[in-house]
Structure 1
């Protein structure tokens, strides 16, 4: 063991060694070379330099991995220290590169596998033919749409992330934010879409949240694509709840749930026997850290005539 005197001697020698290491000062000729190189780079890209100075455009960087702290709108994203382009800002070369945007999109999808990044009950898979088309399924566990299975597609524009994706539900429903064409309104949450502040996982959390009764109460009429559903929720809540329940039942019926999707949609639903269900449950229990995995087969609604009447009533309402 070193004595205090030996320790001081050792520290003194280390300090002397560190002081002896220094970067040599550049000679006058080296300074002239660096100055000439800097001026040459400025002359080669004057427009890029001036545009960056005016707009405060950041240099290309790897997409930020969001925090794992979850809220009702998803994990909170750390605040950026650099300014980022808004939807109206022209894309700089690093953002306009198709390869860079594709890499960003793949990174976002990979990050959905991290804890708390993909909301419970929401599943998305990119189309094998197009990375800009993600198909999804939403399983609603509470609220007026409890028990529903809603299919949707997330259409990501070529100039994403400067422009927000578009969400379209493939399952018919009666919801204030869902238009007759299936488009889902993002205006309630994303009034101003900001690149690298808003991400796709924010949209997924928003979709899941807006099927809760408390979220339905917060919808502003200007953001409602279905004004009839909005008015009914506020003025005839019991009728709205009954229609929402009917939507949930129809979405899980065999004719809707097992309908053959387009070939580009990788999410397929098919009937499962009790033995297959138990086999899958055992497999999932062994392959995850969760002690218990609850799976249940979709129950077939009793009475074919009742389901047919339910569908007819719903169609009349949507077409009226």
Structure 2
């Protein structure tokens, strides 16, 4: 400071008489200010002198502002979109330990693979949504031209050569996987044997598919390969438990009348599928094959 000595030599009496300095002016926003937009620097980026033990700097779950919380928010939005699509025969749940792994079950109710019930796992890249395509793997390798005979993986890049953020969505992956069971393609197959039989020996192809469906169905009663408490588990029909549960599901939300479903006073929908209800007769694969709720 370039202050003269005369200015600095102030008596104590003069100091006590001088007014106290005024507080700094308050910001015009009155404290109500949104947090700044995240930068495009990944979470693991930092100055060279950053401590190695910094948990924030070591947590790289997405770039371009998609840190852990932003990534989970994005995945939650994807899961909500999947619910809105209401893809028939699809049951899926994110895993308890990580939102980057989803497990579920796919039912096929028509076509050559009718009666199929296949467990699967969807693995989402760590840097989602900026990364590559998710990985879709069936727990049991289904005999299919587009499913790898050893790993059970579906070639998702066949439909999504380049994953585009905010354009491609996870529900589209599920829809594509379901469609491959209804419209078979044999060009550039993941299982050349299945593709050859489909083109040249249809009866033998059907026999192999039938064996594959039976094997997948038998495996449903086994514990899933994925060690997750949210993974779907099945048990044999129990007369002491299951009939009452089914009756409660139907009667608590719907009433049967005049050959059509109608809403009860407390029902939220006139369509059982909109309420998450689904039931079939033993040995059948037709959805809602039992439509008499009064005798359920």
Range into which the TM-score falls when normalised by the shorter chain: 0.5 to 0.7
- Cα deviation, residue 275, structure 1: 5.9
The match for 2:227 is: 263
Q: Is 1:237 paired with 2:202?
A: yes
Query: Of 178, 184, 195, which aligns to 1:208?
Result: 178
Quote the Cα distance in structure 1 between the aligned partners of 2:223 and 2:110.
27
SS of residue paired to 1:94: coil
The match for 1:169 is: 138
Contact persistence 2:113–2:209 (CA under 8 A): yes
The match for 1:193 is: 163
- Cα deviation, residue 136, structure 1: 1.0
Contact persistence 1:169–1:183 (CA under 8 A): yes
Quote the Cα distance in structure 2 between the aligned partners of 1:131 and 1:204.
16
Contact persistence 2:133–2:162 (CA under 8 A): no
Contact persistence 2:91–2:106 (CA under 8 A): yes
- Cα deviation, residue 164, structure 1: 1.2
- Cα deviation, residue 99, structure 1: 2.0
Higher relative contact order (CA 8 A, sep 6+): 1
Q: Deviations over 1:134-154 (max 9, x none)?
A: 001001101111111100000
Q: Deviations over 1:271-308 (max 9, x none)?
A: 223564433333332346345555136549xxxxxxxx
The match for 2:109 is: 141
The match for 1:118 is: 86
1:70-85 → structure 2 map (5 Å cutoff) = none
Quote the Cα distance in structure 1 between the aligned partners of 2:186 and 2:93.
31
Specify the structure having the higher radius of gyration (Cα). 2
Moved over 6 A (4+): none
Contact persistence 1:232–1:240 (CA under 8 A): yes
Quote the Cα distance in structure 2 between the aligned partners of 1:210 and 1:128.
29
Contact persistence 1:189–1:206 (CA under 8 A): yes
Q: CA RMSD in A?
A: 2.5
- Cα deviation, residue 206, structure 1: 0.8
In 2 relative to 1, CA 259–252 (structure 1 residues): closer, same or farther, beyond 3 Å? same
SS of residue paired to 2:112: coil
Q: Which has the higher helix share?
A: 1
SS of residue paired to 2:279: coil
**TM-score, structure 2 length as denominator?**
0.62
Q: Deviations over 1:171-229 (max 9, x none)?
A: 232111111111111133212321111101001111111111xx10xx2522x211111
Contact persistence 1:118–1:205 (CA under 8 A): no
In 2 relative to 1, CA 295–274 (structure 1 residues): closer, same or farther, beyond 3 Å? farther
1:298-317 → structure 2 map (5 Å cutoff) = 299=283
- Cα deviation, residue 113, structure 1: 2.5
SS of residue paired to 1:113: helix
Contact persistence 2:104–2:120 (CA under 8 A): yes
- Cα deviation, residue 248, structure 1: 1.5
In the alignment, structure 1 segments of 5+ residues that lack a partner are: 1-44, 49-90, 301-320
SS of residue paired to 2:234: coil
The match for 1:100 is: 70
Q: Deviations over 1:116-168 (max 9, x none)?
A: x1310011101101110100100110111111110000000111223211001
In the alignment, structure 2 segments of 5+ residues that lack a partner are: 1-38, 42-61, 254-267, 285-296
Choose 102-111 or 273-282, whichever is displaced more. Answer: 273-282
Contact persistence 1:252–1:298 (CA under 8 A): no
- Cα deviation, residue 235, structure 1: 1.4
Choose 265-274 or 125-134, whichever is displaced more. Answer: 265-274
**TM-score, structure 1 length as denominator?**
0.58
